[in-house]
Structure 1
Amino acid sequence: MREMATSYGRSPGGYLWAVIEPAAGIALLSALFSLGFRNPAIGTNFAIFYATGLVPFMMFTDLSNKVAMALLFSKPLLNYPSVTFLDALLGRFIVNFLTQIMVSYVVFVGILMMFETRTIPQVSGIALATVMGATLAFGVGTVNAVLFTAFPIWQRVWSILTRPLVLLSGVIFIFDNVPQPYRDYLWWNPLIHVVGKMRDSFYPTYDSSYVSYAYLFGVSAILMLFGLIFLRRYHRDILDF
């Protein structure tokens, strides 16, 4: 409840802005690319094509950043013995994960009602892609929760390093259209697998054989493990910096 009040209760509109941001991004991309292209890389509708890339991407960035800032955000509460670092991480993750599910539902349903997209959404596939993105976000956020707190400069470095991600994660193109050897390099970006699974869940003819669940969940688990180990051992020292 504290997370909900502080994250969305302070600004006019509250949760409305969580929906407006991806919707505006999708509308802008659709308008720009429709001027130069007759059809998107898959299908016939620009809005649903960019939504299947931008929605999971924005979910990852929002969740990972919120989890990464959890210790700094809840630092006063962590002085109470009954409040642990895990409470801070999970509190931020759960509230914002539920928010992103709501945003995804509103955006996708809105596009499907407004346009003839010629897609066949698969709820189970969409749910799996959402879980993939959320798991990766929690892993990245947990590691960054350590680094952001211990090394404040890392927050700025991370912001710079991740700016090209929207271009490197298959949001505005499809993985198959990338020429070799760059396609092999991009495969190592876990977000490629999240976006690929989301697009596969809307386009039945889309070939997502490159998506590796083992790789995505393996990377996420390793990041979580290292982040939680360091937090368990050093979180008190880190908060005293």
Structure 2
Amino acid sequence: MQHSRSVAAPRTVFALILREVASTHGRSKGGYLWAVIEPVGGIALLTLVFSFAFRTPPLGDSFPLFYATGFLPFLMYQDVAQKLTTTLRFSKPLLFYPRVTFADALIARFLLGSLMQLAVSGVIILGILATFRIGTFVDLPEIALAYAMAASLGLGVGTLNCCLTSLFPLWERVWAIANRPLFLVSTIFFLFETVPPAYRAWLWFNPLAHVIGQMRKGFYPMYAGAFVSPLYVFGMASVMLAAGLMLLRRHHSAILND
């Protein structure tokens, strides 16, 4: 029986991914195009606003590249966390089938969200480098580490919130309000090193600052990013993931039957 379930799980995950593709981006011809247009619009707006205020970005001489290296990993975290938060709500009818578990649904949404954001980021970054003819050294291992950090953080936050929002519906609004300032304090617009030391000590505890710092190490050889700690990010993500899985295992039946 256990062997049958272990073989069925990958098929179940793949089926859930196909369902997700068909029900989200697959609903319209422009669904996948919009997934690229939305972040491009955000980066273009940041470039337009800050290029009027400053002569050069904090790193390099390309505003689009600087803001893309901050905005895209943030979007990876945000999209993965949001998809996982709504997993039980989205897949609830299917979870009554014996062969479909909440873990299958979480894995499917995590894989689809991560791969989708990686594809979008690749298209946008390559587009920026080609359009503006930016000659920069691209360190793929450093960039891969940044995206692994962003995805793992989204996995941890999303899994924990998946249970909390199901048990306490008010938590979704509370988290949305608490999460909103992250966009402003995650070093998308500035460098960690430019923050006054007194505030920098507090900013260090924001894991997204580490993710974005790591991302910029992959595009700017002169940027040391000495403050970046992948261990801190992966540690936080692991603790939240473990807590979320433990709570879901204990309460998922009650949540589904609610």
Instruction: State the 1:32 CA deviation.
Output: 0.7
TM-score normalised by L of structure 2: 0.91
Aligned to 1:16: 33
Q: RMSD of aligned C-alpha atoms?
A: 1.0
Structure 2: tracts of 5 or more residues without a match: 1-17
Kindly report which structure 2 residues correspond to 1:92-107, keeping only aligned pairs within 5 A, or say none.
92-107=109-124
Instruction: State the 1:117 CA deviation.
Output: 3.0
Instruction: State how far apart, in whole Å, the 2-side matches of 1:210 and 1:33 are.
Output: 25
Partner SS state of residue 34, structure 2: helix
1:71 to 88, 97, 111: 88
Letter in 2 for 1:25: G
Instruction: State how far apart, in whole Å, the 2-side matches of 1:126 and 1:21 are.
Output: 22
Aligned to 2:107: 90
Instruction: State the 1:118 CA deviation.
Output: 4.2
Instruction: State the 1:127 CA deviation.
Output: 0.9
Aligned to 2:200: 183
Partner SS state of residue 52, structure 2: helix
Letter in 1 for 2:26: G
Aligned to 1:60: 77
Instruction: State how far apart, in whole Å, the 1-side matches of 2:93 and 2:200 are.
Output: 46
The number of residues matched between the two structures is 241
1:5 aligns with 2:22: yes
Structure 1: tracts of 5 or more residues without a match: none
Question: Residue 30 of structure 1 contacts residue 47 of structure 1 at CA under 8 Å; is this kept in 2?
Answer: yes
Letter in 2 for 1:119: T
1:225 aligns with 2:242: yes
Letter in 1 for 2:245: L
1:114 to 125, 128, 131: 131
Question: Residue 45 of structure 1 contacts residue 116 of structure 1 at CA under 8 Å; is this kept in 2?
Answer: no
Q: In terms of Rg, which structure is larger?
A: 2
Instruction: State how far apart, in whole Å, the 1-side matches of 2:248 and 2:135 are.
Output: 47
Decide which moves more: 139-148 or 149-158: 149-158
1:139 aligns with 2:161: no
Identity, % of aligned positions: 51
Aligned to 1:200: 217
Instruction: State how far apart, in whole Å, the 1-side matches of 2:188 and 2:215 are.
Output: 11
Question: Residue 193 of structure 1 contacts residue 211 of structure 1 at CA under 8 Å; is this kept in 2?
Answer: yes
Letter in 2 for 1:188: F
Question: Residue 129 of structure 2 contacts residue 135 of structure 2 at CA under 8 Å; is this kept in 1?
Answer: no
Instruction: State the 1:116 CA deviation.
Output: 3.4
> What's the CA shift string for 1:143-185, capped at 9, x where partnerless?
0000111111111111111111111101011100111211010
Instruction: State how far apart, in whole Å, the 1-side matches of 2:89 and 2:28 are.
Output: 20
Letter in 2 for 1:203: Y
Question: Residue 149 of structure 1 contacts residue 239 of structure 1 at CA under 8 Å; is this kept in 2?
Answer: no
Instruction: State how far apart, in whole Å, the 2-side matches of 1:239 and 1:147 are.
Output: 14
Letter in 1 for 2:121: S
Aligned to 1:81: 98
Aligned to 1:154: 171
Instruction: State how far apart, in whole Å, the 2-side matches of 1:124 and 1:133 are.
Output: 14
Judged with a 3 Å threshold, the aligned counterparts in structure 2 of structure 1 residues 38 and 118 are, in CA distance, closer, same or farther, namely: farther
